[in-house]
Structure 1
Amino acid sequence: MWVLAGLIAAVMFVVRRIRRGGSKGSAGGGAAVLLLAAFGVALAQTIVLAALTVFARELDVSATGATWLLTAFMLASAVATPVAGRLGDLFGHRRVIVTGLALLLAGSVVSAVSTHLGSYTGIVAGRVLQGLSGGVFPCAFGLARQRVPAERLGGVVAALSAMFGVGGALGLVAAGPLVDVTGPAALFWLVAALALLALAGMIRVPSSSAPASPAGRVDLAGATLLAGTLVALLLAVSQGRAWGWSSPGIIALFGTAVALATAFGVVERRAAAPLVDLRLLIGPRLLTTNVATLVVAVGMFAAVTLLPLFVQTPTALGYGFGYSPARTGLLMAPMAVCMLLAAPLAARVSTARGTRAVFRAGAVLAAIALAGLGVLHEHIVEVVVWCALLGLAYGLAFASLGGLVVGAVGQEQTGAATGINTILRTVGGAIGSVLAAVIVASSATAPGRPAAESGYTTAFLVSGAIALGAAAMTAARGSVTTDPVEAIL
């Protein structure tokens, strides 16, 4: 119960900041609304993860079927994010954020009601609607850049970046205790309440005087091809283990993803107003940052997937702790708290040492924490310590990504650039989750048998090596010609 009370207290703190912001549209109130909106979307993504076994039992579906409650959100979010970022740059970020929060609210209500009715199809449909709110993230960066004073922008951007990890971690923390006390539908009612609060606050924020590019248009051909690419890729990644990596369906999905991605590149190069400016994806100022984002997301989501599985393993197997979902959520609390504390720390260190230095520090700390989990996990105290360090590490890494992206592009490209970066986090998360599951499953002596402890050791160490690789990628200073913090301030 104290987890839920802490979550409510955090939300009420933000609400007080919104009200204390003073007059309509003040910078303080606007920043608090953006943080609440980003937090709600991030929480919605992972809040079902620790309760998938409960949903499988309640809805009488297989474990593979239950994972679609996570996959549906990620697919919808990956498709919506670049489109929303472009729409925000063209027609105003506030308008797109309001639409995204309305979709989050509607999807949460649909999922909650469907849970009460025992409708699996209804919950999946609601999760798709929730996932469409993923476009809130890139537009939140764009609106912050327009409305937050220059002296505060670095801190707000870092906090928004951190919300991706903080909200996701708190989703894991809150799910177990909340389900034990009130049932699985409460997960969606909680997200609905957050969406309603953020929507009410965002309505009080006035629109900008004019959109950044009023004469622009949306590249429908590019949007269709990008959506097809992401759907095919994430379906293949998320279902590869269930269908079989060498199955005709998975091979066809990967082939389709490659073909559509190639067509997307050709169309975008020729489009007068492309959905995604390829210079933002592979240009010299953002290529290293984007690749590092993808890599660090792989490592983080691999760890987040591994930890609940490891601590819930019955002790009779010689490892693990036999924890319930509720106790697993409590175990994740130090990670969430440290992620939250990392946001203001990242802002201070960025000012003193540069944003890339913060990212590298976070990635190196993540590598240390994951290596520690791989070799020292016999006692629960050890796991708690490594979880806390991992939370600090990824809090620093994600908090710095917003500054790296925003500082490398012009104001009119903020939504598009941060949208691309958010997509890479989503894709990396899907890849990381599957990678962790494949490594652990491969350690079983026979199909259907429990995984060996060596599988978890290997998976944690591989995740640590991936995080270290992300740190190495940002070591080449030529990837960003101007210090992002200096560009922001």
Structure 2
Amino acid sequence: MWVAAVLVLSVAHIVRRFKKRAEEDDDSAPSRAVASVLLLAALVVALAQTIVVGVLADLAREFGTDAVGATWMLTAFMLASAVATPIAGRLGDQHGHRRVIVTGLALLAIGSVLTAVSVGAGWYSGALLGRVVQGFAGGVFPCTFGLARQVLPGQRLPRVIAALSAMFGVGGAAGMVVAGPLADVAGTSAVFWTIAGLSVIALAGSGALPRHQAGNPQSRGFDITGGVLLAAALVSLLLAISQARSWGAASPATVGLGIAVLVFAGAFGAVEHRTAEPLIDLRLLFGRRLIALNVATVVTGLGMFAAVTLLPLLAQAPPQSGYGFGYSAARTGLLIAPIGVCMTVAAPVTSRLAGQKKGARGVFQAGATLAAVGLLGLCAFHDRPLHVAISGAVLGLAYGLAFGSIGTLVVDATPPEQTGAAAGINTILRTVGGAMGSAIAVAIVAASSTSHGPPTEAGYKTAFLVSAAVVGLAALIAAAIPATASDAHLRDEIRE
């Protein structure tokens, strides 16, 4: 349980740092409470997405299924979240973000209880349904940005936005770290009971959120057709990515889904272009201020999540393979704990660094560059646990800087009334990039196997090298992100 203790202390550290700075800037207790609730809500949702990664083998054994069947426990959440996130962001902009946050946390609690009970009873279908219900809580994440922007004082907002953005990575890393030790001590069901408990705490804390937060009075329509087409395109894309390895990249199912993505995406673009109240303003995807950021987000997620996916496989590979450590799930969690710890440590300083000469764009580029260094370290030095842990620490700092600055960049480039929608789009792009990175990395490693034997060390080296090149490309793409007026404004606020 040392892993869980380290993560809890690290998250407590970021909360204390945040509160200390908040007290220096503003003595308003209500705004401090709002920020704390938003951070907890974002953290719990991010935890819920990845917490199954460390216990997939246990779930396969308990349900009597294979690795592909167990992977659906992750895929089900991702698909539901992909559908809910952009729709929730739009609804929050229209009708108030608090309502969406409360609804999402309630669904997370219900889905977590259903999953925990189903795992305990060995009911696979019930567990999948529970994960789908959990996934609908993905809409909480973009609405935390929208609510923060509307109700928090200006001097505190940059730091909260940076912390919220970092929570996507912090929670994701923490979920993978704590699941193994928790399952070893209290059983696999305890993983989902933990999420249920945290979501209830966040739901109780939502009483501190403004009850009469207004939406956009000029935008009350909802684009049902656009929502259906977007959901179909996202589900087809993520389903193809997540199942390509088991189905085969050239299988009829995978190819058919690829065609479906193009058809649904094209129809969605045509509908949104002609609709007076579009679900997503296409300028949020392809506008001058956001196109480079959105592309960089996908590329960064692709490169970074590849490493997070490969490290447990590397650590748990038997030493007879010539490169693994033969670790259990709990020891694997300890090995990759530096990623979550360093990401948590980096999050509070992101906004302060963004106030320096280079601004948020420079912080993002620094994070992407540092990630490339960490991935190159894994490529060259992975023969000892200490070497892997050091590279993981570098990656954690990189994740904290890159993900922490993305939220600031999105807010800088978006009108206040579209914050939820823009944050929802960016969140989905991170998820899509992460899913693609995980699938590509695993495919590269699997391709190194010969005669049905285990993957070779060369496969891991190649995957880490490709990932390093990808995140290096993200740093170059980020150079095209326009500087915004708020960069200078943020620098002035922090210096004061």
State the TM bucket, normalised to the shorter chain.
Answer: over 0.9
The aligned residue for residue 183 of structure 2 is 179
Q: What TM-score results when the alignment is normalised by the length of structure 1?
A: 0.96
CA distance in 2, matches of 1:234, 1:77: 11
Q: Equivalent of 2:302, from 288, 298, 305?
A: 298
CA distance in 1, matches of 2:320, 2:330: 20
The aligned residue for residue 103 of structure 2 is 99
Residue type matched to 1:104 in 2?
A: L
Q: Equivalent of 1:482, from 475, 481, 484?
A: 484
CA distance in 1, matches of 2:291, 2:121: 47
CA distance in 1, matches of 2:213, 2:367: 38
Preserved CA contact (<8 Å) 2:241 2:439: yes
The aligned residue for residue 417 of structure 2 is 412
Q: Equivalent of 2:459, from 455, 459, 465?
A: 455
Correspondence 1:77-476 to 2 at 5 A: 77-213=81-217, 215-352=219-356, 353-446=358-451, 448-476=452-480
CA distance in 1, matches of 2:351, 2:27: 27
CA-atom RMSD in angstroms: 1.9
C-alpha spacing 1:486/1:207, structure 2 compared with 1 (3 Å) = farther
Residue type matched to 1:39 in 2?
A: L
Q: Deviations over 1:112-139 (max 9, x none)?
A: 0001110111111111111111111110
Preserved CA contact (<8 Å) 2:10 2:344: no
Q: Deviations over 1:456-475 (max 9, x none)?
A: 00000000000000000011
Q: Tell me the CA shift for residue 333 of structure 1.
A: 1.1
Q: Deviations over 1:176-200 (max 9, x none)?
A: 1001111110110111111011111
Preserved CA contact (<8 Å) 1:11 1:36: no
CA distance in 2, matches of 1:403, 1:85: 17
Determine helix, strand or coil for the equivalent of 1:132: helix
The aligned residue for residue 4 of structure 2 is 4
Count the aligned residue pairs: 485
Preserved CA contact (<8 Å) 1:14 1:36: no
1:40 and 2:44 matched? yes
Preserved CA contact (<8 Å) 1:361 1:397: yes
Q: Which runs of 5+ in 1 are unaligned?
A: none
CA distance in 1, matches of 2:76, 2:29: 34
C-alpha spacing 1:23/1:184, structure 2 compared with 1 (3 Å) = farther
C-alpha spacing 1:23/1:371, structure 2 compared with 1 (3 Å) = closer
Q: Tell me the CA shift for residue 24 of structure 1.
A: 10
CA distance in 2, matches of 1:13, 1:103: 29
C-alpha spacing 1:24/1:350, structure 2 compared with 1 (3 Å) = closer
Preserved CA contact (<8 Å) 1:408 1:482: yes
C-alpha spacing 1:272/1:259, structure 2 compared with 1 (3 Å) = same
Q: Deviations over 1:433-461 (max 9, x none)?
A: 10011000000012x32000000000000
CA distance in 1, matches of 2:306, 2:213: 43
Q: Deviations over 1:354-373 (max 9, x none)?
A: 00000000000000100110
CA distance in 2, matches of 1:112, 1:182: 12
CA distance in 1, matches of 2:282, 2:207: 33
CA distance in 2, matches of 1:271, 1:368: 45
Q: Deviations over 1:272-311 (max 9, x none)?
A: 0100100000111100000000000001111110000001
CA distance in 2, matches of 1:24, 1:199: 22
Preserved CA contact (<8 Å) 1:154 1:485: no
Q: Tell me the CA shift for residue 213 of structure 1.
A: 3.3
Determine helix, strand or coil for the equivalent of 2:234: helix
Q: Tell me the CA shift for residue 23 of structure 1.
A: 11
Residue type matched to 1:119 in 2?
A: W
Preserved CA contact (<8 Å) 1:108 1:130: yes
Preserved CA contact (<8 Å) 1:59 1:118: yes
Q: Deviations over 1:377-399 (max 9, x none)?
A: 11111111000000000110000
Preserved CA contact (<8 Å) 1:89 1:413: yes
CA distance in 2, matches of 1:209, 1:146: 8
Residue type matched to 1:132 in 2?
A: F
Residue type matched to 1:443 in 2?
A: S
Correspondence 1:61-80 to 2 at 5 A: 61-80=65-84
C-alpha spacing 1:68/1:484, structure 2 compared with 1 (3 Å) = farther
CA distance in 2, matches of 1:273, 1:24: 37
Preserved CA contact (<8 Å) 2:14 2:347: no
Preserved CA contact (<8 Å) 2:360 2:487: yes
CA distance in 2, matches of 1:189, 1:346: 32
Preserved CA contact (<8 Å) 1:293 1:421: yes
The aligned residue for residue 58 of structure 2 is 54
Q: Tell me the CA shift for residue 350 of structure 1.
A: 0.1
Q: Indicate the percent of aligned positions where both proteins have the same amino acid.
A: 57
Q: Deviations over 1:3-37 (max 9, x none)?
A: 3334555677899999x999997111100100000
Preserved CA contact (<8 Å) 1:24 1:206: no
CA distance in 2, matches of 1:297, 1:8: 25
CA distance in 2, matches of 1:129, 1:15: 28
Preserved CA contact (<8 Å) 2:87 2:279: yes
Q: Tell me the CA shift for residue 317 of structure 1.
A: 1.1
CA distance in 2, matches of 1:367, 1:213: 45
Q: Tell me the CA shift for residue 214 of structure 1.
A: 5.4
Q: Tell me the CA shift for residue 320 of structure 1.
A: 1.2
Q: What TM-score results when the alignment is normalised by the length of structure 2?
A: 0.94
CA distance in 1, matches of 2:199, 2:413: 31
